[in-house]
């Protein structure tokens, strides 16, 4: 008798710590690399997956270097560098506009604590646009995006809602068609782009997703259900390892 295939699995993985994460700066679309700690976080996750015999059939990633480099380290640690990968700008981090590159205390001093809190935690609030004089902060990404005509008119800043909308467009067009029983896919993204996917998979409300935190190097593991939904199987962080498991 043929053996039934296991359900499709999806691993949502936040990139390792970046230089601006370490400095407590709003990173957004700035193309910042990983710290040594960030490399270590991804290597630890890759070692753990390989040790458990967990393979990945395809990886989806944002265009930003901290995600691309995280994929490289992860797959190298898994001894699987040839795993196919797809980069999509819609998985990029939220565009933080005028907050880009500013430290959290610096942003509070410039704009006020209440405004910064609202921009960070509200589902719909949009920060001020990035000034023309500061466009160099995202110049490498802007150049790369010119090769993606589907991007259309690029935002000057985004709310979490707007970020969730573009991520939601990526799901049926790019990710979902690659899912099938027996296959395991990984999405390596950012705090906000992954929050948008978690919102969809776990059917969270606006208030719930606004308060959700996803740590650097964190992995959230999901299995497809017969009714079309998703069951979260595990949350894993490099510093705390398995926080929860639902078997």
Does 95 carry a binding-site annotation?
yes
Judged against a pLDDT cut of 50, whether residue 90 lies above it is answered with yes
Residue 200 domain flag: yes
* Residue whose tokens read 């710590």: 17
Residue 13 domain flag: yes
Relative orientation angle of helices 104-111 and 113-121, to the nearest 10 degrees: 120
Judged against a pLDDT cut of 50, whether residue 165 lies above it is answered with yes
Task: Find the mean pLDDT for residues 61-74.
Answer: 98
Over residues 181-234, the pLDDT tens digits come to 999 999 999 999 999 999 999 999 999 998 999 999 999 999 999 999 999 999
Task: Find the mean pLDDT for residues 81-107.
Answer: 96
pLDDT of the residue at 239: 75
CA distance 191 to 121: 13
Residue 3 domain flag: no
Does 16 carry a binding-site annotation?
yes
Residue 2 domain flag: no
Residue 78 domain flag: yes
Q: Which helix (H) or strand (E) holds 164?
A: helix 160-170
Does 94 carry a binding-site annotation?
yes
What range does the domain containing 235 cover? 9-245
The first and second tokens of residue 131, run together, are: 């000034």
Residue 115 domain flag: yes
pLDDT of the residue at 56: 98
Determine the length of the chain.
247
CA distance 236 to 234: 6
pLDDT of the residue at 1: 39
Relative orientation angle of helices 36-51 and 65-77, to the nearest 10 degrees: 40
Any idea of the CA torsion for 84, 241, 190, 138, to the nearest 10 degrees? Answer: -100
Would you call 93 a catalytic residue per the annotation? yes
Count of domains forming the chain: 1
Over residues 96-155, the pLDDT tens digits come to 999 999 999 999 999 999 999 999 989 999 999 988 888 788 876 665 665 654 555 678
Does 17 carry a binding-site annotation?
yes
Among the listed residues 15, 44, 190, 218, the single catalytic one is: 15
Does 28 carry a binding-site annotation?
yes
Among the listed residues 9, 44, 93, 218, the single catalytic one is: 93
The first and second tokens of residue 9, run together, are: 């699995």
Would you call 15 a catalytic residue per the annotation? yes
Residue 111 domain flag: yes
What CATH number is given to the structural domain containing 188?
3.40.50.1240
pTM, whole model, 2 decimals? 0.92
Residue 189 domain flag: yes
């Amino acid at each position: 008798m043929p053996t039934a295939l296991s359900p499709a699995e999806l691993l949502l993985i936040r990139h390792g710590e970046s230089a601006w994460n370490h400095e407590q700066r709003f990173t957004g679309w700035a193309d910042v690399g990983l710290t040594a700690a960030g490399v270590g976080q991804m290597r630890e996750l890759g070692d753990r997956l390989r040790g458990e015999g967990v393979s990945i059939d395809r990886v989806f990633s944002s265009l930003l270097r901290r995600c691309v480099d995280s994929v490289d380290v992860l797959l190298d640690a898994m001894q699987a560098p040839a795993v196919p990968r797809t980069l999509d700008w819609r998985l990029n981090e939220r565009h933080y506009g005028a907050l880009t590159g500013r430290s959290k205390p610096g942003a509070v001093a410039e704009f006020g604590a209440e405004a910064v809190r609202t921009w960070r935690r509200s589902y719909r609030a949009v920060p001020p646009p990035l000034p023309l004089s500061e466009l160099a902060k995202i110049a490498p990404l802007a150049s790369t995006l010119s090769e993606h005509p589907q991007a259309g008119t690029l935002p000057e800043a985004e709310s979490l809602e707007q970020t969730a909308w573009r991520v939601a467009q990526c799901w049926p067009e790019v990710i979902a068609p690659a899912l099938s029983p027996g296959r395991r896919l990984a999405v390596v993204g950012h705090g906000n782009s992954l929050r948008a996917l978690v919102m969809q998979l776990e059917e969270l409300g606006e208030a719930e997703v606004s308060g959700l935190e996803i740590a650097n190097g964190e992995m959230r593991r999901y299995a497809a259900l017969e009714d079309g939904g998703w069951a979260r199987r595990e949350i894993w962080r490099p510093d705390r390892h398995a926080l929860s498991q639902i078997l």
